[in-house]
Amino acid sequence: MADDQGTPMGGQAAYRYEAVADWGSMPAGRILRDVAAVAIDSQDRVYAFHRGTDPMVVFDRDGNFLHAWGQGLFTRAHGLHMGPDDTLWCTDDGDHTVRRCTLDGRVLQTIGIPGRPSPYMGGLPFNRCTHTALSPEGDVYVSDGYGNAQVHKFSAAGKHLFSWGSSGTEPGQFNLPHNIACDPEGLVYVADRESHRIQIFDGDGRYLRQWNNLHRPCSIFLGKGRCPVCYVGELGPALPVNIKAPNLGPRISVLSHEGELLSRFGELGEAPGQFLSPHGIAVDSHGDIYVAEVAVTAWGRYHPGEAGPPEGLRCLQKLRRL
């Protein structure tokens, strides 16, 4: 059982949080290493998709370890999306595939050819795809990603319908489409990470608008309801000249359905409520936030020349809504 003492960390108005210290207990001899993404099922169980042994680790909402799976199935964990039927859409950017799995790890569907990337920036699926989202009708959107500048739309059966986007900074272009979400109206939200914006499209890929006032938005989670709140994990700077500059993250921002900033909190550090690299985000039925971090990868950026990272560096934390 996790320590139930919280560390106040801030936020504004109705969106204030405290970090739950020492949340998430692993069996002896096992650690979470670079949690790339996190998802919550209908019973508030927490699925951590990480880059270590047994890539999918499952906890209850109190942080007790339940089980793990995925060894030999995934090459490099990257994106995770929980479908409305409690199936997991797992995006593997090292294998260039999306796999739909049951909660205990049985593969139901694979989109993409394992180990066969499309040509770099060629516009075809996939070259290091990053995340998935589902339309209200069950179609699948895939952001693609590190080796492409596209969003691809597939039918529920996995048939490629069409794609949109190209490399660039104009509306409808992408500079690392890193995460994607879809709301109940069918609008598609794309975290255009290195252009510091979230672009919003209709279901046919037509550009509608964008949200700015963000710094390297890396992860998106949309709440439930007709006008869902949007939770965004933002990375901090990556250049030596500004890597520790204030007011740039790493942090969490909570936005209204119109893009109005409702709450913002977090700062650089390893203490509870601080962040190194908020790479994935999910919210449970109680309004608590779970933040997945590729902290091992980020460690060297913030600690150049130092030994490390320390054994067991925290890569997943829970923020309890007050």
Residue ranges of the domains in the chain? 6-321
Q: What integer pLDDT is reported at residue 211 of this predicted model?
A: 98
178 vs 133: CA distance, rounded Å: 12
On the 0-12 / 13-18 / 19+ scale of CB atoms within 10 A, 226 is: exposed
**Alpha-carbon dihedral sign for residues 113, 76, 318, 297:** negative
Q: What is the pLDDT of residue 77?
A: 98
Query: Which residue type does 169 have?
Result: T
Q: What is the pTM of this model?
A: 0.96
Predicted confidence at residue 4, as pLDDT, reads: 54
- Report the relative pairing of strands 97-101 and 77-82 from DSSP bridges: unpaired
pLDDT score for 3 = 44
DSSP string covering 299-321: HHHHSTT---PPTT---EEEEEE
Strands 129-134 and 88-92: unpaired
Per-residue tokens: 51: 């880059």
Cα–Cα distance, 55 to 35 (Å, whole number):
9
Domain 6-321: top CATH class: mainly beta
At residue 5, the pLDDT reads 59
Distance CA 302, CA 278 (A): 14
Listed as ranges, residues in the chain with pLDDT below 50 are: 1-3
Specify whether the CB–CB gap between 212 and 196 falls below 8 A: yes
Q: What is the pLDDT of residue 2?
A: 40
Please state, in angstroms and as integers, the Cα–Cα distance from residue 28 to each residue in 53, 69, 309, following that order.
13, 17, 19
Tell me how crowded residue 108 is: count the other CB atoms within 10 A of its CB. Answer: 10
- Is the CB of residue 286 less than 8 Å from the CB of residue 265? no
Name the residue among 143, 166, 261 with its Cα closest to residue 211. 261
Best CA proximity match to 25, nearest among 64, 58, 54: 64
